[in-house]
Chain A
């Protein structure tokens, strides 16, 4: 087991390195750097000015050197400025190199860089935004997982009945409704001032400090609905399969009541497959989070991703992608390990 986890961790780190390098490469392409220079400096800069702006900030060097600096395995750049001062990656503008300045400053040293859009440290931005999104996701999970499991178990325990058909139709409907559709419909019905019921608020901006049922329920429901259908269908399939096993029939034949068969014999075995599905839903939830946070104007992690990407904020974008890639990979790892742990029939060498 330990060897398995270690190997998975190795693959994970290799994946993260590859992906961040791809992001780094794409954000450091010439047109992107030019756009960055013009948005940060001056829109009417000439080509020479753009070049010198980029050169002063170390953007004009070899891609691998820059990536190494960001990672913290190559010493940060120090350039001489025209006015006699120096500019370094690790200390910014100064008259001369400060004596205590570190020569390496990258992710490995805990320095995530500086966001050009928010004018703040990337580390602190990502931490606060992740906290906000964590709140959203927590409530989503609280709503989505029990509902989905309930629907799936109820539908799967008696296959083909009316209950099964109506609940399955509901789960198909919910998987067919992406967040930007259900969000629009829910806002129209429950929050629109023109025709709707006005039970909830159409924006969740105020939920960032003070989440109430009124301003937070719609975004949570919007994300939960899309994910719910898929988990419910997987649970239904797994439940239906378990209900056809020999040991269920034996239990029924020796006179155990249907309720006890479902609760004591079937449920535990039926929930192994949904566990992996729930864990693998995280990447999709991340997708939903970005859409919902944009739609409801909730300034969390997904909203930050959109801001960073549309403004080519390189270091923030890298921070965001590292976090999201690790979220995806760690949930995959948990899903694999959990599967082995829950299902005694599987052994990993």
Chain B
């Protein structure tokens, strides 16, 4: 069978795309240089008092650049829509667009609903007012949905771990064959993005790798935030010796080269001693402490509500906590097996712990800085005069007023955590060697990079687009939250 081309029957559009792209780059460059020498068009006052602008050379250039850009977008959209309809008839891009149909539908639904109700959605709704923010949001949600539907087995074309001797390092669009055994009935006929050095499907591995990132990165960042907030607020509020000690400890961790820390924490020998599990046992207490103090400080004046609330929260979180840290045959076996809800695979837990450990001190510093600023405000003094307790002031007066910068930082930090996870995979630390996460895949692919770039390029671009999306999202949020 013939290998697939990139665009298949839509190849007629390719020259248009390249022409438009070349024109766009050229026009943008000319516009930039011309902008230094030419003045923009004259403004003329109309008899009715309005201003009108004559079209000078700069405005014409602007218009042409914009049209070139619209043509590029149009052709790309045609590739995606046509591909989703035609499927493999439209080449590799068509095949991918068709496999991703559930993602397109979900994306369209979410964005459509959000746009309809944007006035009522607060900061989230305002996000759609900025182009940068919307693009970032779309990129992030694309990967979230890709990971979600990939986990439901709706997108992946082949088993991400299955190897085929005949497909080693084959280029994108190669017809799927096997050296030994027959091909299953109904198996997808192509390796859309080629095969890697063990003959695994690069496209399926890329989608499966998204799940690893989408599962770990936001969770780990959330944990880092709980640790950072629970320690940072008292450091800022009380100051004094507590502040000095905690800041010293935070700086201590920050002065450590991240990679050295990973190497020291994530090697199998250290994992065997159980140190990461003990660290997990300490760090995962923070969410329980955080929520207990949060609710207790608010409701301690209403014992009838507080008691059941705290019992439920501590009970549920405590059970989750114990199931999380207790591991059969591990160093900590606290819960009997029938009570243990789930076992996190050792590698994932260690990666999780080290990522939280590296992120917490930075969050601590940010929270402390914000807290030092906000605690001088009048409403804090008012709360003190009312006789509120220190934890109430910290969690219900300081924290809500620091939420803007914290939300922005959360988005940035999820991106940074994604980069860290990739770094861990790149050095082959923590996650199992055949794991499809993007860092490990890049690491596998880099040895033959000069000859077969595609196995490393696909996850690299995937990681780039996700982190870019998170950065754009953070930028859009920052812009929109500063506006009011």
Residues of A within 8 A of B (CB): 11, 14-15, 18-19, 22-23, 26-27, 29-32, 34-35, 162-163, 166, 169, 172-173, 175-178, 180-181, 184-185, 187-188, 191-196, 202, 283, 286-287, 290-291, 294-295, 302, 305-306, 309-310, 312, 317, 320-321, 324-325, 328-329, 332
Determine whether B468 belongs to the interface, using a CB cutoff of 8 Å to chain A: yes
In the complex, which of the residues A34, A166, A192, A317 has the most CB atoms of chain B within 10 Å of its own CB atom?
A: A192
Q: A27-B264, A177-B464 are in contact. Are A192 and B257 (CB under 8 A)?
A: no
Pick from A11, A15, A30, A181: contact of B442, CB below 8 A: A181
Contact yes or no, A202 B260, CB < 8 A: no
Pick from A31, A169, A188: contact of B272, CB below 8 A: A31
Q: A29-B273, A181-B442, A310-B267 are in contact. List 4 more A-B contacts (CB 8 A).
A: A15-B255, A187-B450, A192-B451, A306-B427
Contact yes or no, B423 A180, CB < 8 A: yes
B435-465 contacts to A (CB < 8 Å)? 439, 442, 445-446, 449-453, 456-457, 460-461, 463-464
Query: Could you say which residues of chain B place their CB within 8 Å of the CB of A30?
Result: 273
Closest to B438 in A: A181
Pick from A26, A196, A305, A329: contact of B259, CB below 8 A: A305
Distance in Å: Cβ of A7 to nearest Cβ of chain B: 12
Q: A26-B270, A30-B273 are in contact. Are A321 and B257 (CB under 8 A)?
A: yes
Contact yes or no, A163 B449, CB < 8 A: no
Determine whether B52 belongs to the interface, using a CB cutoff of 8 Å to chain A: no
Distance in Å: Cβ of A71 to nearest Cβ of chain B: 18
Query: Could you say which residues of chain A place their CB within 8 Å of the CB of B275?
Result: 26, 29
Contact yes or no, B259 A192, CB < 8 A: no
| Complex: A169 Cα to B468 Cα, angstroms | 10
Residues of B within 8 A of A (CB): 28, 31-32, 35, 132, 248, 251-252, 254-260, 263-265, 267, 269-270, 272-273, 275, 415, 419, 422-423, 426-427, 439, 442, 445-446, 449-453, 456-457, 460-461, 463-464, 467-468, 470-472, 475
Contact yes or no, B468 A176, CB < 8 A: yes
| Complex: A187 Cα to B259 Cα, angstroms | 23
**Interface of chain A: mostly helix, strand, loop or mixed:** helix
Distance in Å: Cβ of B314 to nearest Cβ of chain A: 33
Distance in Å: Cβ of A204 to nearest Cβ of chain B: 13
| Complex: A305 Cα to B263 Cα, angstroms | 9
Contact yes or no, B453 A192, CB < 8 A: yes
Query: Could you say which residues of chain A place their CB within 8 Å of the CB of B470?
Result: 176
Query: Could you say which residues of chain B place their CB within 8 Å of the CB of A26?
Result: 264-265, 270, 275
| Complex: A320 Cα to B270 Cα, angstroms | 19
Contact yes or no, B259 A194, CB < 8 A: no
| Complex: A19 Cα to B261 Cα, angstroms | 10
Closest to A185 in B: B460
Q: A185-B460, A291-B423, A295-B446 are in contact. Are A325 and B255 (CB under 8 A)?
A: yes
Contact yes or no, B439 A329, CB < 8 A: no
| Complex: A329 Cα to B468 Cα, angstroms | 31
Q: A177-B464, A194-B453 are in contact. Are A184 and B255 (CB under 8 A)?
A: no
Pick from B28, B257, B460: contact of A180, CB below 8 A: B460
Query: Could you say which residues of chain A place their CB within 8 Å of the CB of B415?
Result: 176
Distance in Å: Cβ of A193 to nearest Cβ of chain B: 5
| Complex: A302 Cα to B257 Cα, angstroms | 11
| Complex: A177 Cα to B461 Cα, angstroms | 9
Contact yes or no, B270 A194, CB < 8 A: no
Query: Could you say which residues of chain B place their CB within 8 Å of the CB of A329?
Result: 255
Q: A181-B442, A287-B257 are in contact. Are A193 and B450 (CB under 8 A)?
A: yes
Closest to B475 in A: A172
Closest to A317 in B: B260
Contact yes or no, B258 A310, CB < 8 A: no
3 closest Cβ pairs, A-B complex: A309-B263, A31-B269, A188-B453
Closest to B251 in A: A15
Query: Could you say which residues of chain B place their CB within 8 Å of the CB of A193?
Result: 450-451
Contact yes or no, B450 A178, CB < 8 A: no
Query: Could you say which residues of chain A place their CB within 8 Å of the CB of B439?
Result: 180
Pick from B254, B256, B471: contact of A172, CB below 8 A: B471
Distance in Å: Cβ of A38 to nearest Cβ of chain B: 11
20 of the cross-chain contacts (CB-CB < 8 Å) are: A11-B248, A14-B248, A15-B252, A15-B255, A19-B256, A27-B264, A32-B267, A32-B269, A162-B35, A163-B32, A166-B32, A172-B471, A180-B460, A193-B451, A283-B254, A291-B423, A291-B426, A295-B446, A309-B259, A309-B264
Distance in Å: Cβ of A119 to nearest Cβ of chain B: 21
Contact yes or no, B426 A180, CB < 8 A: yes
Q: A19-B252, A287-B257 are in contact. Are A176 and B467 (CB under 8 A)?
A: yes
Query: Could you say which residues of chain A place their CB within 8 Å of the CB of B453?
Result: 184, 187-188, 192, 194-196
Query: Could you say which residues of chain A place their CB within 8 Å of the CB of B460?
Result: 180-181, 184-185
Distance in Å: Cβ of A282 to nearest Cβ of chain B: 10
Distance in Å: Cβ of B152 to nearest Cβ of chain A: 28
Distance in Å: Cβ of A188 to nearest Cβ of chain B: 4
Contact yes or no, A309 B260, CB < 8 A: yes
